[in-house]
Each structure stands twice: as structure tokens, then as C-alpha cells.
């Protein structure tokens, strides 16, 4: 099967982009919607999501579950996602390998937990429960972090791979998050990519960020979703397409400081080109050395 033929590229749906997306929906293969903003939506508001899901595949993307935690994810959050999935009928839903609260403290942000066997076990339990409540397993996304989580005994790729294998869950590989972590903690981005469980990657995010600096002049790359994806992210996408045996669904994320809509669609097109180049490279290699291929579900 030609997995490249089933690669898809789309855009993160935002209210600020809704009008342009309505007028040019044919430019995209898929739309991704931030689920948490729709949990309390009225029937009338949800009619828009249902309308979109009839015209184009829609994926729901959650940000508030905090699945990758030694603590148990609240049942109410799983129920909220389950209700939304039932009402909207998306083709998939995703969440993050992050914790977002502890006890009564709401952090309000996606944070990397200590990467250790205890959080692996906690994440797997939470993911399995989430899959049982919602009806399907979530696709799980790696997060960017500005500080290496303390009390960690595992590296990020190993930690991610253990969780996904034990939970039998697919991965949403955020290439800018991967790139930011590689830059911030002294890894080679290409090698970091290779170390991830690429055989589980079915979805990809592309986004951008900016350098931030402490008072002492220490620089880190912040994944803020307010900037264009940098060249290295598209290079990583091409590399991923060359390595992956799965069909890939790629979503461009932008949360603000929106450029013109043509700029966003040009970035979507650039992603298509990167995917095609990667697949072509893989085809050239496999014509020399055949490999087994698999298609996404």
C-alpha cells in the first residue's frame, strides 16, 4: 500500500480563522478543533462543528486532561470529552503526555511530569480509562518543556515509547515540541526524532515559537504557536515521512498573531511538499531494499 497516498494535511480550526476556512475548506484534508473550548457549547454552537465534520474530517484535540500523571484523571473530564465525541462524531481525538494540575492546584499549562516508571504507569492507567470512557483511545502528543523535569530516570523518547507501547496508543508527534526540546537540552533534532517511537506516529503537529531569555542571558526556545514553523520543522517532517511506514495526518497549529490566510495555506502546501519529498526518498531507498509497509487504521 502506498502510505504516502493517504497522507493528509490540515489546519487547526480557530474562531479567528473560521470565516476563511469556511470559504476555502477545500484547501485542507482535515481540521483540528480544540475540544476544551466546546465542552460547554450550546446545541446551536455545536451545529457548526457537526457541519464541519460533514464536510471534512475533524479531529478533536484536548488540552485539559493531564493524562501523563501519577494522579488519576478526573472522571468529569473524560465524560466531557465522551459527550463531545458523541455529539460531533470526529474521526479521532487526541491529548497530551503532560500533567496540568496537582491536587487543588490548577497550573493552567501543559507541563512535563517527572519521567519515571511511576508516571509511565499512571499515564497508561489514565489513557486506558480515557479510551474506555470515550470509546476510542486518544492519540497522544509529546509536549515541549522549558525545564527538564526533575526526579526523572528516563529520557523523553524512552518514556514516551514505554507509555505508548503499554497503552497500545498511537502518537501525535509535535515536531516543533520535539525540536524545541532538542534545542533546549542539547540534543541533535534528527537523532531525537529517530529515537521516538516512529512506528506509532499517525498524526503530526507543526507550529512555531520564539527564543526567550532569562535575566542572566540564558536562552530557550518557547513553543508559543504564535510564529511560523521554522525550516528545521519542515526538514524533520520530510525526514519523518522518509522513515514512517504509517499514513500521516499533519496539522498546522496557530493560536494567534495570525498572518494572512494565504500565508497559512502556503505553509500547509509546504508541508505537503515535505511529505512528498520524504516519501519519494523512501521509495527510492526501498526500490533498492524492499521494506514492509503498513497503513494507518
Residues in 145-164 that interact with another protein by CB under 8 A: 145-152
Question: Which residues does residue 203 pair with via DSSP β-bridges, in sequence order?
Answer: 172, 249
* Minimum separation from the CB atom of position 155 to another protein (A): 15
Question: Which residues does residue 221 pair with via DSSP β-bridges, in sequence order?
Answer: 211
Q: Which of these segments, 127-135, 140-148, 195-203, 228-236, binds another protein (CB under 8 A)? A: 140-148
| 288 is a site residue for another protein (CB under 8 A) | no
Member of 2, 86, 194, 255 binding another protein (CB under 8 A):
255
- Evaluate whether 100 touches 62 at the Cβ level (below 8 Å): no
Helix runs in 72-174, H state only: 75-88, 117-134, 156-167
Q: Which of these segments, 162-170, 234-242, 252-260, 283-291, binds another protein (CB under 8 A)? A: 252-260
Nearer to another protein, 40 or 290 (CB): 40
- Residue (of 201, 138, 176) closest to 7 by Cα position: 201
**What are the CA-CA distances from residue 280 to residues 45, 75, 191 (Å)?**
42, 45, 21
Nearer to another protein, 146 or 195 (CB): 146
* Minimum separation from the CB atom of position 218 to another protein (A): 4
- Residue (of 243, 221, 64) closest to 147 by Cα position: 221
191: burial class by Cβ within 10 Å (0-12, 13-18, 19+)? exposed
* Minimum separation from the CB atom of position 231 to another protein (A): 19
Nearer to another protein, 149 or 197 (CB): 149
**Using CA of residue 213, residue 214, residue 218, residue 221, what is the dihedral sign?**
negative
Nearer to another protein, 71 or 293 (CB): 71
Contacts of 13 (CB under 8 A, 6+ apart): 21, 31, 32, 33, 52, 58
Q: 51: left (phi > 0), else alpha (psi -120 to 50), else beta? A: alpha
Residues 58-97 that bind another protein (CB under 8 A): 61, 63-64, 69-71, 74, 76-77, 79-80, 96
* Minimum separation from the CB atom of position 116 to another protein (A): 6
**What are the CA-CA distances from residue 196 to residues 8, 110, 159, 261, 280 (Å)?**
21, 20, 9, 32, 22
Within 10 angstroms of residue 126's Cβ, the number of other Cβ atoms is 25
All 3 cell numbers of residue 60? 478533536
| 259 is a site residue for another protein (CB under 8 A) | no
Residues 173-232 that bind another protein (CB under 8 A): 174, 177, 180, 184, 205, 207, 209, 212-216, 218, 220, 222-226
- Residue (of 47, 83, 95, 9) closest to 275 by Cα position: 9
Residues 26-55 that bind another protein (CB under 8 A): 34, 36-42, 44-45, 47-48, 50-51, 54-55
Nearer to another protein, 118 or 158 (CB): 118
Residues 91-120 that bind another protein (CB under 8 A): 96, 99-103, 105-111, 113-114, 116, 118-119
* Minimum separation from the CB atom of position 142 to another protein (A): 10
Nearer to another protein, 215 or 290 (CB): 215
Nearer to another protein, 129 or 243 (CB): 129
* Minimum separation from the CB atom of position 102 to another protein (A): 4
Amino acid at each position: 500500500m502506498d502510505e504516502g497516498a493517504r497522507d493528509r494535511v490540515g489546519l487547526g480550526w480557530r474562531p479567528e480563522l473560521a470565516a476563511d476556512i469556511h470559504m476555502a475548506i477545500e484547501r485542507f484534508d482535515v481540521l483540528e478543533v480544540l475540544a476544551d473550548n466546546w465542552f460547554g457549547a450550546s446545541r446551536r454552537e455545536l451545529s457548526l462543528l457537526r457541519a464541519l465534520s460533514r464536510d471534512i474530517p475533524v479531529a478533536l484535540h484536548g488540552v485539559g486532561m493531564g493524562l501523563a500523571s501519577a494522579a488519576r484523571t478526573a472522571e468529569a473530564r473524560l465524560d466531557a470529552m465522551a459527550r463531545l465525541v458523541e455529539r460531533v462524531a470526529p474521526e479521532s481525538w487526541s491529548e497530551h503526555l503532560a500533567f496540568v494540575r496537582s491536587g487543588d492546584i490548577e497550573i493552567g499549562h501543559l507541563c512535563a511530569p517527572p519521567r519515571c516508571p511511576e508516571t509511565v504507569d499512571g499515564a497508561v492507567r489514565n489513557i486506558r480509562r480515557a479510551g474506555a470512557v470515550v470509546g476510542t483511545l486518544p492519540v497522544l502528543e509529546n509536549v515541549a518543556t522549558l525545564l527538564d523535569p526533575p526526579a526523572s530516570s528516563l529520557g523523553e523518547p524512552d518514556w514516551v515509547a514505554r507509555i505508548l507501547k503499554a497503552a497500545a496508543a498511537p502518537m501525535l508527534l509535535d515536531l516543533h515540541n520535539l525540536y524545541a526540546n532538542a534545542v533546549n537540552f542539547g540534543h541533535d533534532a534528527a537523532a531525537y526524532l529517530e529515537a521516538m517511537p516512529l512506528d506509532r506516529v499517525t498524526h503530526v503537529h507543526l507550529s512555531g515559537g520564539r527564543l526567550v531569555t532569562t535575566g542572566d542571558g540564558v536562552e530557550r526556545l518557547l513553543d508559543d504557536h504564535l510564529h511560523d514553523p521554522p525550516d528545521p520543522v519542515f526538514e524533520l517532517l520530510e525526514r519523518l515521512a522518509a522513515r514512517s511506514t504509517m499514513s500521516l495526518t499533519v496539522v498546522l497549529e496557530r493560536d494567534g498573531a495570525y498572518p494572512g490566510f494565504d500565508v497559512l495555506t502556503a505553509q500547509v502546501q509546504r508541508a505537503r511538499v515535505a511529505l512528498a519529498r520524504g516519501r519519494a526518498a523512501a521509495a527510492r531507498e526501498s526500490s533498492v531494499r524492499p521494506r514492509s509497509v503498513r497503513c494507518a487504521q
